[in-house]
């Protein structure tokens, strides 16, 4: 077997079928393929200084069997040439963490979450600055330049548009979310983020906020709903992720039946700065 470059990148699928260790095979394949393609690009930039052409990548991610806790895969970066070049030990030691933070920066950039992307880039910058040998060896020290890192991430986003659309394939369908990397390091892609990544029109992911709405319609089976924003008097699509929806006489069905306004907590997707859809996690009757 070709030599492993650094510690495996964990990818965990949770919720819905994934909690029974199941996921739609086609959706899973598309998702893993998208994540691996992004990871391949990041490794090529990190180790060989260019985004490059996939066929020429010298390091590629391979997936290995799931663990027993949830639906957990491990992506392993290996050299295709059969022999490991003389990479500096510092690069191999923290390369995995750098790749995880790069995923965080790439996904948040694609979601329009500029503040979160900047925080991830700051962490990448800290890695280069605090690990002197890493900072010296990689790209002749350019990793210590935050502006250069920002440009690198933006280039990776553009280069991986297709992969970013494939990454969330099972989310909202057979799983609730995907965690890439360690929970404290890599990003989590939930249903709201999945909508933005899949979109054919420019959308952004907003911060969780509170809204007052009227429920125009709701499906108890999958949580899909139509919500009228107050006082805007504008109807938007929604998704109720609150488990309380399935309870008989829930606040959601009661509000629909009785025409009562709801005070909800929801994560929005935005189009041109306005609410495009809402992902509802909690609600109570408005007073």
Listed by start position, the domains of the chain span: 9-198, 206-285
pLDDT at 176 > cutoff 70 = yes
Q: What is the pLDDT of residues 265-274, one digit of tens each?
A: 999 999 999 9
pLDDT at 49 > cutoff 80 = no
CB 230 within 8 A of CB 275: no
Residue in 239, 245, 98, 258 with CA at minimum distance from that of residue 177: 239
Q: What is the pLDDT of residues 94-108, one digit of tens each?
A: 788 889 999 999 999
Mean pLDDT of the chain: 88
Alpha-carbon gap, residue 58 to 50, rounded angstroms: 12
Alpha-carbon gap, residue 216 to 222, rounded angstroms: 16
**SS3 assignment, position 84:** coil
CB 186 within 8 A of CB 180: yes
CB 104 within 8 A of CB 115: no
| CATH code for the structural domain at 206-285 | 2.40.50.140
Q: What is the pLDDT of residues 184-241, one digit of tens each?
A: 788 999 999 999 999 999 999 999 999 999 999 999 889 999 999 998 899 999 999 9
Q: Confirm whether pTM is higher than 0.85.
A: yes
85: confidence class by pLDDT, cuts 50, 70, 90 = low
State residue 182 phi and psi, 5-degree precision.
Answer: -70, 145
Mean pLDDT of 121-126: 90
């Amino acid at each position: 077997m070709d030599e492993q470059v650094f510690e495996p990148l964990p990818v965990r699928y949770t919720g819905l079928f994934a909690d029974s260790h199941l996921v739609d095979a086609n959706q899973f394949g598309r998702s893993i393929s998208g994540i691996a393609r992004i990871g391949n690009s990041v490794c090529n930039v990190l180790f060989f200084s260019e985004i490059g052409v996939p066929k020429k990548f010298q390091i590629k991610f391979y997936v290995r069997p799931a663990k027993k806790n949830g639906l957990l895969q491990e992506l392993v970066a290996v050299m295709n040439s059969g022999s490991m070049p003389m990479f500096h030990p510092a690069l191999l030691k923290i390369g995995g963490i750098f790749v995880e933070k790069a995923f965080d920066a790439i996904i948040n950039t694609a979601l329009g979450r500029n503040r979160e992307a900047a925080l991830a880039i700051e962490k990448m910058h800290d890695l280069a600055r605090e690990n002197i040998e890493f900072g010296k060896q990689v790209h002749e020290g350019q990793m210590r330049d935050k502006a250069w890192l920002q440009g690198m991430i933006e280039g990776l986003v553009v280069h991986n548009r297709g992969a970013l659309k494939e990454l969330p394939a099972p989310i909202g369908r057979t799983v609730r979310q995907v965690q890439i990397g360690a929970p404290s390091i890599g990003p989590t892609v939930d249903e709201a983020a999945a909508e933005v990544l899949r979109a054919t029109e420019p959308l952004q992911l907003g911060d969780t906020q509170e809204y007052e709405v009227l429920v125009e319609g709701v499906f108890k089976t999958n949580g899909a709903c139509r919500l009228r924003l107050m006082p805007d008097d504008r109807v938007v699509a929604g998704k109720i992720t609150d488990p309380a929806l399935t309870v008989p006489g829930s606040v959601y069905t009661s509000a629909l039946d009785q025409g009562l306004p709801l005070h909800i907590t929801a994560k929005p997707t935005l189009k041109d700065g306005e609410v495009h859809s809402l992902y509802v996690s909690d609600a109570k009757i408005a007073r």
